[in-house]
Structure 1
Amino acid sequence: MKKTIFLKGAVFSIVFLLSLFGFNHYFSGKTEGVTEMLGATLPIVQIYVDEMAVNEMHGYLGQIDAALMRDAVTPVEANTELKIAVTDYDYDITAVSYQVFYGSNSELLEEGVLNKLEEVDGKKVQTLKFQNRLNEGEEYLVCYTIRLDSSRKVHYYSRLKYGVGFHQEENIEFAIELSNMMLAKDEALNRYIEPDNEIYNNNLSTVSIHSNFAAVTYGQAKPERVGDMEVTVKEINSDYTVVELRFILAMKNSKGQLQYCDVVENYKVRYSANRMYLLDYSRSQEAFYNPEIIDAAKNRITLGTGTTTGIDYVVDAENEKVCFVKNRQLWYYSYQSASVTKVFSFWNEDKTERRSGYDQHNIHILNMDESGNIEFIVYGYMNRGRHEGQNGIAIYRFLTENSSLHELAFIPSTIPYENMKEEVEKFSYLNEADIFFFLQDGVLYRVDTITGEWETIRQNLINNSLTASSDHHMIAIQEKEDSTKNQKIDIINLENGEERTISCEADQRIQSVGFVLSDFIYGIADVSDVEVTNSGSILFPMRKIHIAGETGSGVKTYYKEGYYIVQTEVKGNVINLTYSRNKTADENTQVTDNIIFKEEKEGGSVSTEYGYDSICYNQVYLAFPPYIYVQTVPSLKVAKEIISDDMQVVNLIEEKSDIARYLVYANGALVESYNTTPEAIAKADEIRGIVVNNDRQTVWESNIASYNQVVGMSHYNVETTEDTFAACVSMAAALEGQETEIEDIKKAEGTNWEILGRYTGKKGLNLYGTELSQILYYVGRETPVIVGLGGDHYVVLMSYNNTKIRYKDPLKEDDVVVSRSEFEAMMNRSGKEYYSYIK
């Protein structure tokens, strides 16, 4: 992702002048020293599947919200035993304590200590025998704790699932066999892959089960694995297992140049007695940047195998300096000095050292000035160095004059990397006074990196309730996160603190659209046109959008007579608008338009592009304008870190957003977050994933039983249609052991799902618009679903199989049984109104 530069000349000029007097003067007498980053020291914990050690767990020295960590699952089968392995490296570990919690509510199930660890093949091994009964299909959280010395403990976390017939050993072996077949270009793979002729097969960085045989088997390359392969069980149930394989690959391009790649494969496999099935497959492959490889003929820096999407890079105004992140390493290239500097990396030179290569972190560039000085953050898990084993945000400044790296502050966080990255990338900013602003869990924080003071600026910032200019020095915050109620937007300049407010009339509502550079775009809608749909999403059809300059001057207005603006998208300097004649965005009445608000400067700029290699296929390059001649292989420098005792560790008190969010995970990774349950379920169903809310409760899973019923439901009869909803709530409440009066339910205020949750004592769910096949997940978990048939007539769905649906109708004495197709047709006519709750 390329960034437009707003140079911080004043501060960096001061820094440069101070550096002339030496580091001691610059830090005003601080205790400091020059050092290289320390290597990783913490032990690794694994589990055994048969005789294979899998699921590497990395240790946390600080607190972490373990309920959000979904990067691995520990399968436990019928014998309820689990073999644990510890690689202790420089420590002498003699015991491992453990705790097992219920996954949904963090209630402690059991705890104990594993003593007398046995040395086996360089690992300390012991068997954990569970004392309590584990429920089949239930998800638990297990925490292992190792004491390093008299004052330090390190914690390791994993999900745990108990079941019968997982066939984990066979599934893992099958995944490894397929991976070996791909390297060997074994034609037997054609039995398992499902090539799609519409898929492009010219990039080895992203390969799937739908890629062709050549792409799946690494094109014309002859790759070799380097070092060990890391095996992780990401998901497991009685139907399938997801296995991740991670390794380093060495391969040569058509010029014989060697590149090393970080490869991650995900296999979704199913066991059967007769044969193994590959249900899905994906592979990502990203080359490590090699400074020795350039494309002099086309003035390009070679980045190797990868994608151009999402590359974080910043270019100076003269196109002579560029910093970029590749494979979680930050590099700085200077054309004038013909040099490249490795600014930051947790990776060892030996890329096979697995602790330094742990991928639960990333680097985000904040700014680069005209001298090439860089401000950036490293966020997530700290693999090694002074914060090894901690989770949080480290704020750095790199000075080109002496290739020195200075850490300004470290902010510990309990939010795991997967849940942190979306918001940190969306908004984080360091101003000229070294005040750091960042977004986490819907909360905007302000941190003074010099004094360590901090404050919360605003909470519940989701979606467009916070937007930022291209360089993030200007932000717009809606007064209310709910656009149906919002009448004000505050515009804040984070450099000088100036604020101004944009408001609308009482019968209008206002919503942020975004920024083009530092010009703010917003839309205004009539309150009569704004509404919340039955599924909970917001319709905000705007009559006009407005664009205001940084100071509020020069407002421009865009509209089309007789149309609503129903969708907006800001891409660079282009605003894409979708108009519709009606506010529901009927596709039959839509027209599109775009506004090129500010022209790009002439002469070109550094950009990412692809170039084709006959062996390795598409390769990524940083291409320079024609007047910049990249002809010389750059000399390599490595930044030296300046360690100062005055580096601030800011232990802020983390706030939690009050707004419900639904997180979609697949293969152990967070894919996306949504405001409504139906949207999240639809995405999870598409990618065979799982939905978790921000209370860390599992809302929905793609593994749905083929039949089930809710046992023990009472029947409640009423005489009028108007009373059927209250009767259905009463039946669900009785199932959960709650006593209710139907008259009280009828008088209750709130939405239908809020009322259901209140009387069952559970978390109610609005599932309006969800498909029947998805709704059956709840019945499969022995949770009833209240169904609206139309005209205020409600029933309780409580049993199903492959062909039939059974429900209780309060207007009838007996259960009603219909075919699934008949019931689905009924729901399509009535609007798919469903409500349930989380057990």
Structure 2
Amino acid sequence: MADNKFSTLFSFYDGDYKDERACWQKHGVKILDVDEAGNVKFIVYGYMNRGRHEGEVGISVYYFNGMMNTVEELLYVPDGSSYEVLHAELEELAYVNRAETFFFMHKGVVYAVDLGDRTYETMVSELREESYRVSDSNRMVVWQTGDNLYQCEKLILMNLNTKAKTEIKAGNGEYIAPLGFMNEDLIYGVARKEDVVRSNTGNIIFPMYCVRIQNENGKVLKTYEEPGVYVIGSEIQENQINLTRLRKEESGIYVEAEDDQIVSTKIESGGSNTLETVAVDVYGKIAQIAVKGVIDVGGIKKLTPKEVLFEGGREIALQNNNTDVPRYYVYGKNGVEGIFTDEGNAINKAYDLSGTVINEKGAYVWIRGNRSIKNQIMAIKGATITEEKNSLAVCLDTMLQYEGIMRNTEYMLNRGDTIVEILGENLEGARVLDLTGCSLDAVLYYINKDIPVLASLNDGNAVLIIGFNELNTVLMDPLVGEPFKKGMNDSTEMFEENGNRFITYMKE
């Protein structure tokens, strides 16, 4: 605005509302970099309404030259996913540094693309929810090493400007987890191994006795620690960190403690333009730019940049990262509300949002509210334990027999196979779902689909949930023999006391 000029950097709209291509809002625009000369790098992602990529879904990187008043496409990455998925991924991480390297996240992988020769490399792959954090500027990224979120002993902190990586290790007998960033400073927590336990509802409690704030150079700026008090979560808002805490009683049980706050005394420099949301009436809001100076409205010039034409294409095709890590997309009223690798976490999120879970193949995994008043799997009859088979083996045999498969699961259990492994190896064309930590109300979705749910109990036994109505569940307990009804409230309480450890499957 120094020269009182406005430039329309990109738009699919051409002034004709009758053209459907102008009004189809399945794309997004994100500014990556603006320099002092007014040059801008930005991305357009999602469905391409018109132009050389019309009808495709992908990511385009553009460069606006403020001096020449031109826009040039630097890179195009075609993709087979939806706008909603790309929006969730790219709004979390899309960054370009001064060396003309474009970083972005897609399907749990962070890619680095050289905008000059259009070659790329993988920075990190198989990222899982809660295992990484990105700063608001997208310049700093941190992730856990290893496969288990709650047994990590090392973090990798990366500066995308320089590609420099810093290792942050936990001490002996400790685990470490990233909590987020305050500006570019990393916030992480440390927990003792013996303190990490599973709650009565089946969820892992990761009590961090210490929280540290560390800058990119490795200097610890602040350490938060209070004897007998543990941090289990955090929320970062501007210059304040709100800590969710527990207190450990003498009996070893964790109970809720009051939240606490860490407040940064760093004063942000003013004098910059900001984007703010303003309510204009009871039902509507607008986004507006609050500028640092006065604008000469009468002298504003609106410019339309010219497109730089080039021969050939500037497209790169990402090689398929062969990974066994599944991905679950939670859809709510605002599109994709979360991307998960743990099916239980995805269903819990969708349950709270009254949403839907879809896997990486586009198949429905779970839907809130799509359930009958009652249903029972009549093909499953009673079965009892024997001298050769305990209740868990009977439940597994019954699940497999229901699908027409005869196996000796007692033998498999004795050789050390887990429930998930046994079902996964023997149920062809099915995906086993570990729903530990989900509520009974949530898992009834599968009984409604005529799929039994196995519930593990603390004493080593197991039961099958095979039916429900408004007041009861129908259980098949091998210790009892015949299926029987149990009150819904009593069932909910029983399964919660046993950790809500549910396992089922879905057809693929």
TM-score scaled by length of structure 1: 0.55
Q: Distance in 2 between matches of 1:649 and 1:425?
A: 21
* 2:12/2:21 contact within 8 Å kept: no
Moved more, 718-727 or 773-782: 718-727
SS of match in other structure, 1:738: coil
* Match in the other structure for 2:399: 732
Matches within 5 A, 1:116-195: none
Query: Do 2:129 and 2:339's aligned partners in 1 also have CA atoms closer than 8 Å?
Result: no
Matched with 1:367 is 33
Distance 1:479 1:790, change over 3 A: closer
1:482 aligns with 2:129: no
Q: Which residue of 1 aligns with 2:177?
A: 511
Question: Deviations for 1:13-63, whole angstroms, at most 9, x for unmatched residues?
Answer: xxxxxxxxxxxxxxxxxxxxxxxxxxxxxxxxxxxxxxxxxxxxxxxxxxx
Structure 1 position 818, deviation (Å):
3.7
Matched, 1:775 2:443: yes
Among candidates 83, 95, 119, match of residue 429 of structure 1:
95
TM superposition outliers: structure 1 runs of 4+ over 6 Å: none
Q: 2:120 aligns with which of 454, 476, 482?
A: 454
Q: Tell me the secondary structure at the aligned position of residue 755 of structure 1.
A: helix
- Aligned in 2, Cα 1:624/1:721: closer, same or farther, shift over 3 Å? farther
Higher mean alpha-carbon deviation, 798-807 vs 433-442, is at: 798-807
Read off the aligned partner of 2:65 and give its amino acid letter.
L
What per-residue deviation string (whole Å, max 9, x for no partner) do you get for residues 512-542 of structure 1? 2222333222222212223455877543222
| Separation (CA, whole Å) in 1 of partners of 2:129 and 2:116 | 31
Which amino acid letter does the alignment assign opposite residue 463 of structure 2? Answer: V
Q: State the match for 2:373 in structure 1.
A: 706
Residue 340 (structure 1) shift: 1.5
Distance 1:696 1:469 in 2: 30
Residue in 2 that maps onto 1:76: none
Pick from 549, 557, 561 the counterpart of residue 227 of structure 2. 561
Matched, 1:827 2:495: yes
CA contact 2:29–2:44 (8 Å) conserved in 1 = yes
Matched, 1:672 2:326: no
C-alpha distance in structure 2 between counterparts of 1:619 and 1:421, whole Å: 20
Residue identity opposite 1:806 in structure 2: V
Is contact 1:484-1:527 (8 Å) kept? no
In structure 2, distance between residues paired with 1:381 and 1:589: 47
Q: Which amino acid aligns with 1:339?
A: K
Q: 1:798 to 1:355 in 2, by over 3 A?
A: same
| Structure 1 residues 538 and 809: alpha-carbon distance in aligned structure 2, compared to 1, 3 A threshold | closer
The residue matched to 2:84 in structure 1 has which SS? Answer: helix
Percentage of identical aligned residues: 29
Shift, 1:657, TM fit: 4.9
CA-to-partner distance for each residue in 1:319-349, whole Å, 9 max, x for gaps? xxxxxxxxxxxxxxx1x32221111011221
Matched position secondary structure for 1:589: strand
- The CA RMSD measured in Å over matched residues stands at 3.0
Equivalent residue runs for 1:778-793 within 5 Å: 778-788=446-456, 790-793=458-461
Q: CA deviation at 1:496?
A: 3.0
Give 1:651's aligned residue. 317
SS of 2:58's partner is strand
**Aligned match of 1:137:** none
Deviations 1:724-756 (A, max 9, x none): 011100001111121211431431535434434
Cα distance, 1:620 vs structure 2 = 4.1
* Conservation of the 8 A alpha-carbon contact between 1:575 and 1:597: no
The correspondence of residues 344-363 of structure 1 with structure 2, limited to 5 A, is: 344-363=10-29
Are 1:765 and 1:837, in contact at CA under 8 Å, matched by a contact in 2?
Answer: yes
Q: Is the 8 A contact 1:733 1:760 kept in 2?
A: yes
State which drifts further: 772-781 or 575-584: 575-584
SS at match of 1:774: helix
1:458-497 per-residue CA deviation (whole Å, 9 max, x = no partner) reads 1111334333344333332322253323222223333333
Once residues 799 and 588 of structure 1 are traced to their aligned partners in structure 2, the CA distance between those partners, rounded to angstroms, is 35
- Name the structure 1 match of 2:6: 340
Q: Does 1:463 align with 2:126?
A: no
2:36 is equivalent to residue 393 of structure 1: no
> Structure 1: how far apart are the matches of 2:61 and 2:434?
41
Equivalent runs, 1:265-304 vs 2, <5 Å: none
Structure with higher Rg: it is 1
> Matched residues in 2 for 1:767 and 1:720: separation?
30
- Matching residue's letter, 1:552: G
CA–CA separation in structure 1 for the residues paired with 2:200 and 2:342: 11
Q: Is the 8 A contact 1:381 1:389 kept in 2?
A: yes
1:394 Cα deviation after fit: 0.5
1:635 to 283, 297, 301: 301
In the TM superposition, 1:690-701 aligns within 5 A as 690-701=356-367
Q: d(CA) in 2 for partners of 1:837 and 1:617?
A: 43
Amino acid at match of 2:320: E
Distance 2:13 2:208 in 1: 49
Give the CA deviation at 1:376: 0.7
Q: Specify the alignment match of 2:504 in structure 1.
A: 836
Match of 1:733, as an amino acid?
A: L
Aligned residues: 503
Question: What is the distance in 1 between the residues matched to 2:184 and 2:435?
Answer: 40
1:609: Cα distance to partner? 4.4
Q: After superposition, what is the alpha-carbon deviation per residue over 1:607-660, rounded to whole angstroms, capped at 9, x for unaligned?
A: 4142646x98655432234x5345447321112111122662111213255434
